A and B are shown apart, each in its own frame.
Chain A
Amino acid sequence: MLSVQEKLAILADAAKYDASCASSGAKRAGNGKGIGHSDGTGICHSYTPDGRCVSLLKILLTNYCTYDCVFCVNRVSSDIRRARFTPAEVVQLTLEFYKRNYIEGLFLSSGIIQSPDYTMEQVIEVARSLREDHAFGGYIHLKAIPGASPLLVERAGRLADRLSANIELPTRQDLVQLAPDKTVSAIEDTMAEIRTRKDEADEDRKRRKAALKFAPAGQSTQMVVGATKTSDRQILETATHLYASYGLRRIYYSGFSPFPLGDTRLPQAAPPLVREHRLYQADWLMRYYKFEAQELTSDAQPNLSLSKDPKQAWAERHAEFFPVDVNTAPREALLRVPGIGYRNVERILKIRRYHRLSLEDLGKLRVRVALAKGYVIASDHLPAVSEIAAAPREGEGAVQLHLFAPEAAAVSAVTGEL
């Protein structure tokens, strides 16, 4: 019989592959009856030495799983230590951690035991007890189990701030190959279910303030990258489809782990951590900078550059678009200038109504002037033609590692060499 502490060690360890730990997006006032509230911004209560935020108690209810997904450490054929929490144990841990201000709330996921419905019921029971028995007002993120019945998804959404169903892998073929027990249709059906319920609830709340909320912080998903040969182009296409179809708040890209961190002494850091980072940048460009997925890669170069951020890479491929005049250009054009972030674009638009901006002014706004000045016209600055034309072309030397090179991965993970 394992102690709660031993279970915690096993079931937190098993959850560490899920990148998401966000606690933002839901406002919940203190209810006066129990502990907990949420101010909407999300708080990282600590950081682990991998640089990741610790915001929620992120655990699995159990790491027993009847599925056999090749990329997942909890797959049925994996020889790991198994454990299972009772719902009451998770409730106690969450409350006690919360009272000491260690966490913002709970992120509960689970291996599939018995059936998707049974698993979902167990997960829901934890959230129900927290909300109903303890009037807990903190953040709750529940994993929606693909294939669980719509009724259970509905119940989960009433209790949780966020739901997520993991898409797992970027394409249907990847999933067939590596996650034979999961199907794209079951995952996407669950996502569609969440979206429909949320849209309905949001609609009700427009008419009636007292109507019940449904997953106020929306839904997110995660896909493992680097486990298959799928290109960034395909990944970004899938991302666009998911954002558009299911109104996702976030997609998390999780570089297939274990992979080594690139040694900073190497001239080019190692994928897929860099690749993961580039995907996040591309994702960000799509959501906040009005880039289309197709613009960021091409059929000839289906992967993002590892050596450059995708915005800069785009600018270098589109010399004809520049220079952009910071004092006259429309918002959409400013957003495409490397070195200028979207918040600074808003500030520039405000300031230029009464003041013509110079390069020095841009520096005061903390624009990355060294990078941006090759692309902008300012009151005191015209970029030299050579600055744009001379921009170095893409050098795509790095090879994406993937799951089916286990020896190479194992060696590099141990030695840090590539």
Chain B
Amino acid sequence: MKLAGVRRVVIEPRYEAWREAARALLREGVCPDDVDLVDATEPLPALLFDPAQPEGDGQHRTGAHIRVPAEFVRRAEVVACHRERERWNLLYRLLWRLQSERGLLRMELDEDVARLRRMEHQVKYDLHKMHAFVRFRRGMDMDGEHFIAWYEPAHRVLGLAAPFFAERFAVMRWSILTPDGSVSWEPETKSLHFGAGVSRERAPEGDDLEEMWRTYYKSIFNPARTNITAMRSEMPVRYWKNLPEVMAMPEMLQQADARVGGMIAAQANASATAFVPQEHRLPVLQSALPACQGCDLYRCATQAVFGRGPATARLMLVGEQPGDEEDRRGEPFVGPAGRLLNELMIEAGVDREAVYVTNAVKHFKFREQGKRRLHENPRLSEIFACRPWLLAEMDAVKPKVVVCLGASAAKSLLGANFALTRNRGQVLASPYAERVIATFHPSAILRAEAERAAGYREMLVQDLRMAAEMAY
């Protein structure tokens, strides 16, 4: 603020207005200390007395060619958009000094130059944020789609920002409305039209897509890393009011803890490891099994079903999980599928008493339908959770050959991507056993239509026979 008594020049808030006034003042030789360049949008302080208008020395620069580095013009155009009233005076002072101090702009420690740099930075920051935070809303009128945005920049950057949007959205009809001015783009003529500032009622209230955008915003947020401070420093609160996604924030923060809980559940591997005894002897394992809560299946099943057979067995059969009857009786393969398996073993010449029979999953998984309990396939996570029991049994028995009956057992020992149709009946090595053969589960025969069932049966018997030959 300058003392009364200096000459006062009113400048419209445009770079060109300042340039005209500054040229005239410089030609006249008016020293920056003797003039106050006042922005036209600023209220004029009342003058206490009528100032004697200081004149320039009149000859100082009249007729002299005004020279400024191109760099100054470029930077002055940017700083002219700053809202601080002192910018016009600062620019004039720099212009004045540049006439005699050639390298001035390189003097970064000079107070005027430092201030220029700071203001320039603030305007460019606001410009960058405008590129980022303008949100178009789609409207329709007689000419078709019209994308309209309401935006409140911190500085007068609309003119600087418009070319960016013109290039980016060249094929769209769009307008940006701000309190200081507005701009529209005509895709047919490829031209920008600047107009007066308008009030926010002229912009559309919303856009159907904003709900979708909020969905994205909510989902891409990682609640385990909540850090509002970092967010605020990058997206200052003053920009929030025109961002449709920010509306979703209170809800996001409220739900953050619950979502983290869900993420942990998804990450955590359910596992029976903690329940399996160190000592891998069958009686020890069997007595520890009922306490297992390695996954959630224990909640509904009657009991956990341990394997059955001699600890010296050379052949081990692994099914999927206990069925309804097995669950009630606590023994593996005693239901319809078990009875069929007995038949098939006889057919294949395998002595059931010499074989160890167990399941990949030790609890029965089912859903209730009326009074009936219908078998449900265990999920992979449940199969893997239960695997420590199976491995402990294998360690106790040390069979020569393991036969996996059905895909669930095969996935447990041969990996999640195992496909029965691709590798049935082959002798495979697994990280857990040297020789594993995967084949159909007897229940597949029970479920299949007659023609197919005969085929399955034949293959299953053949695989059992091969396994037995290898084992003995």
Contacts and interface: CB of A to CB of B under 8 A. Distances in A.
Interface of A: 4-5, 8-10, 12-13, 15-17, 29-30, 32-37, 39, 41, 43-54, 57-58, 66, 68, 70, 73, 76-80, 93, 96-97, 99-102, 180-181, 257-261, 273, 347, 350-351, 354-355, 361, 364-365, 406, 409-410, 413-414
10 contacts: A8-B215, A13-B220, A54-B217, A66-B417, A73-B267, A76-B417, A102-B135, A258-B224, A355-B109, A364-B114
B114 A49 contact: no
A180 B108 CA distance: 57
A295 B441 CA distance: 60
Interface string B203-225: 00001010111011111111111
B220 A15 contact: yes
Contacts of A45: 132-133
A399 B396 CA distance: 38
Given A9-B218, A79-B381, A49 B252 contact: yes
Contact of B269 (A33, A35, A70, A414): A70
B221 A347 contact: no
Contacts, number: 194
Given A257-B224, A258-B260, A258-B263, A43 B128 contact: yes
Contact of B222 (A16, A35, A47, A66): A16
Interface in B43-73: none
A79 B263 contact: no
A414 B228 CA distance: 18
3 tightest A-B CB contacts, nearest first: A51-B230, A258-B224, A12-B219
A180 B384 CA distance: 15
B220 A12 contact: yes
B134 interface: yes
B428 interface: no
Contacts of B125: none
B260 A48 contact: no
Contact of A58 (B114, B215, B220, B223): B220
Contacts of A259: 224
Main SS class of interface, A? loop
A47 B234 contact: yes
Nearest to A74: B266
Contacts of B264: 258, 409-410, 413-414
A27 B72 CA distance: 26
A277 to B, nearest CB: 11
A347 B106 CA distance: 10
Nearest to B131: A43
Nearest to A411: B264
A80 B183 CA distance: 47
A29 B163 CA distance: 12
Nearest to A46: B245
Contact of A46 (B217, B222, B417): B217
Nearest to A48: B221
Contacts of A43: 128, 131-132
A266 to B, nearest CB: 15
B249 A100 contact: no
B160 interface: no
Given A54-B217, A101-B135, A101-B136, A35 B252 contact: no
A76 B253 contact: no
B313 interface: no
Contacts of A10: 219
Contacts of A100: 135-138, 147, 207, 209, 213
A8 B220 CA distance: 10
Contact of B167 (A30, A273, A350): A30
Contacts of A365: 108-109
B169 interface: yes
A96 B209 contact: yes
Interface string B324-360: 0000000000000000000000000000000000000
